[in-house]
Amino acid sequence: MSDAQSISLSLISHTNAGKTTLARTLLDEDVGEVRDAAHVTSTADRHTLIETAGGDELFLWDTPGFGDSARLARRLAASAHPLRSLVASAWDRVCDRPFWSTQQAVKNVRDEADVVLYLVNAAEKPQDAGYLEPEMRILEWIGKPVIALLNQTGPPRPAADEAADVAVWRDALGTRAILRDVIALDAFARCWIQEAALLDTVAPVLPQGKRHAFARLAAAWEARRKAQFDASMAALAAPIVRAAADQEPVAEASLADSLRDVGRAVGLPLKGGGKTRGTAIEALAARLDAAIRASTDELIAIHRLEGRAAAVVTARLAAQVVTRAPVDEKKAAIVGGFVSGALSGLVADLASGGLTFGAGLVAGGVAGAVGGAGIARGVNLVRGTVGTTLRWSDEFIANLVPAAILRYLAVAHYGRGRGEWTEGEHPAFWRNVVMEAIARRGGVRALAMLRGSAGQADAGADAWRRELATLALGVLAGLYPDARMPQAFGGEVSPQPGAEAPAPGDR
């Protein structure tokens, strides 16, 4: 006989607090209707959040928001008097249908929910939320364990700032038997590791008889997220592996070719000339651009988001870099110098996946300087018996890694409830956490050595994937120090506290 069970979580809150938006993010699908208006959700709707092969199911209920909370609390309290409650319910059903629907939804939560997830709008101060006290009375009437979720917290912030907000709201909600915990879970900017924290919070407040089933459901959720994570790391590794192996033949530039390259870099529509260093770097840059955009598109699809990475126009970004770094006449006089310098800066911007365009990564030392021979810093000239080729330097390849991790963080924190994927600036503190994780593993120099030890393409892809996975999990542990890493991810993180910190040039 099967011991499969069903468990229900009910999302409730004041109206227009973002319940349906959060439901979309947690379910990875578009459910309900989302508008910036009160009472958009009019019925209690059940959705399957997790299920196991053995038949266990975890349901998520999306319910109508509370409008006049004080009136609702009084009406529910009056339900202890059957005749009075019957008359009031009949009146509300005819004369105030939204209010009647809210009452039915609350009764549904009382009858169906194992745990109540109570959303609060963290964008406002608790003392300004006059509905809190009557809504806590409503939750006490429901009588089920409550976990308060802070929604609308804004972009991701350092853990200490988020913990301070949680403490403020915990104090405001007070000590009540029904309130088991307060955690942050923003519908727009949550990450899967925060969902794991939610499951960990739910587990101990469930009825004893349902905890084994919930453990199976949590394991199924972890397996699903682990598969998603592994696919993400493979997608991130792909353009790095390709760039590490990429090369482009180049002809030695004549003076005329070099002048043409400089002219093209400043926007002159010049034609002719052979494949000089500048045009060779353009070819390398275009392939890297295409690979990174394809990787980002795959990452978006893996996370069940909609939209595509921006189709960055190479010429437009080149113009941005040129504008930020005007032509130096002496450097321009070096054969191919100006073009090489501009294009290496261009590639650094493309490598960020649309997160930090312009001079951000250039200033960080990824690429952009010209060498003594006028070759872009990010490109090595390789002479063979059959000619000359260009390839990306070890340092440049290594610096694709922090950009890849930042790109992953941006997508992993993009809740489906937010709508179609759009690129934007990542929080500044993310980069610090990423670089700290890289430092613990020997710094950028250690990453540069990985290119040489990767060997053939298949082995190289696996080596980069494993390194990216270890770094990404280390970064998540740094961003969410109080969260437990799910068991399915065990063994991936290999911190090296005693590892040598990178030299300043590696940062």
Strand order in the sheet with 179-184: 45-51, 57-62, 6-13, 115-121, 146-151, 179-184
Does the residue 236 lie in any domain?
yes
pLDDT score for 395:
83
Of the candidates 104, 3, 117, the one whose C-alpha atom is nearest the C-alpha of residue 59 is 117
pLDDT score for 353:
34
Does the residue 507 lie in any domain?
no
Q: How far apart are CA 443 and CA 437, in angstroms?
A: 8
Of the candidates 367, 370, 392, 381, the one whose C-alpha atom is nearest the C-alpha of residue 277 is 381
Domain boundary among 206, 240, 274: 206
Which H/E stretch holds residue 51?
A: strand 45-51
Task: Please report, in tens digits, the pLDDT of each residue of the chain (507 residues total).
Answer: 468 899 999 999 887 777 888 888 888 887 755 434 444 445 778 999 999 999 999 999 988 878 788 888 888 887 766 766 666 677 777 677 777 777 778 888 899 999 999 999 888 888 888 888 999 999 999 999 999 999 888 888 898 999 999 999 999 998 899 999 999 998 888 899 999 999 999 999 999 999 999 999 999 999 999 999 999 999 999 999 998 888 888 765 555 655 565 555 555 565 655 456 677 778 888 888 889 889 988 998 999 887 666 543 233 223 222 222 222 333 323 222 323 333 333 333 333 333 332 222 222 222 332 232 333 446 666 655 456 778 888 888 888 899 899 999 988 998 776 767 666 667 889 999 999 999 999 998 888 888 765 445 556 788 999 999 999 999 999 999 888 888 778 644 333 333 333 333 333
Number of folded domains that form the chain? 2
Within this chain, do residues 179 and 259 fall inside the same structural domain, yes or no? no
Does the residue 213 lie in any domain?
no
Q: How far apart are CA 23 and CA 34, in angstroms?
A: 11
pLDDT score for 39:
44
Q: How far apart are CA 27 and CA 40, in angstroms?
A: 19
Within this chain, do residues 192 and 75 fall inside the same structural domain, yes or no? yes
Does the residue 188 lie in any domain?
yes
Does the residue 466 lie in any domain?
yes
Within this chain, do residues 82 and 188 fall inside the same structural domain, yes or no? yes
Within this chain, do residues 385 and 421 fall inside the same structural domain, yes or no? yes
Within this chain, do residues 182 and 278 fall inside the same structural domain, yes or no? no
Place of tokens 């073009």: 339
Establish how many alpha carbons lie within 13 A of residue 361's alpha carbon, considering only the half-sphere containing its beta carbon. Answer: 29
Domain boundary among 206, 241, 260: 206
Within this chain, do residues 412 and 449 fall inside the same structural domain, yes or no? yes
Domain boundary among 141, 174, 206: 206
Residue 233, Cα to own-chain centre: how many angstroms? 13
Of the candidates 249, 295, 309, the one whose C-alpha atom is nearest the C-alpha of residue 274 is 249
Burial class, 485, CB count within 10 angstroms (exposed 0-12 / middle 13-18 / buried 19+):
middle
Residue 290 corresponds to which amino acid?
A: A
Does the residue 329 lie in any domain?
yes
Asked if 28 contacts 415 with a C-beta cutoff of 8 angstroms, the reply is no
Within this chain, do residues 293 and 147 fall inside the same structural domain, yes or no? no
- DSSP strands (E only) in 196-325: 248-250
Helix, strand, or coil (residue 442): coil
pLDDT score for 65:
78
Within this chain, do residues 164 and 278 fall inside the same structural domain, yes or no? no
Within this chain, do residues 181 and 319 fall inside the same structural domain, yes or no? no
Within this chain, do residues 341 and 425 fall inside the same structural domain, yes or no? yes
Whole-structure pTM value? 0.77
Q: How far apart are CA 472 and CA 465, in angstroms?
A: 10
Within this chain, do residues 141 and 187 fall inside the same structural domain, yes or no? yes
Asked if 410 contacts 374 with a C-beta cutoff of 8 angstroms, the reply is no
Does the residue 217 lie in any domain?
no
Q: How far apart are CA 122 and CA 119, in angstroms?
A: 9
Does the residue 1 lie in any domain?
no
Distances (CA, A) of 275 to 107, 172, 292, 400: 74, 68, 24, 26
Within this chain, do residues 145 and 266 fall inside the same structural domain, yes or no? no
Which CATH number does the domain housing residue 83 bear? 3.40.50.300
**Domain of residue 176, residue span:** 6-206
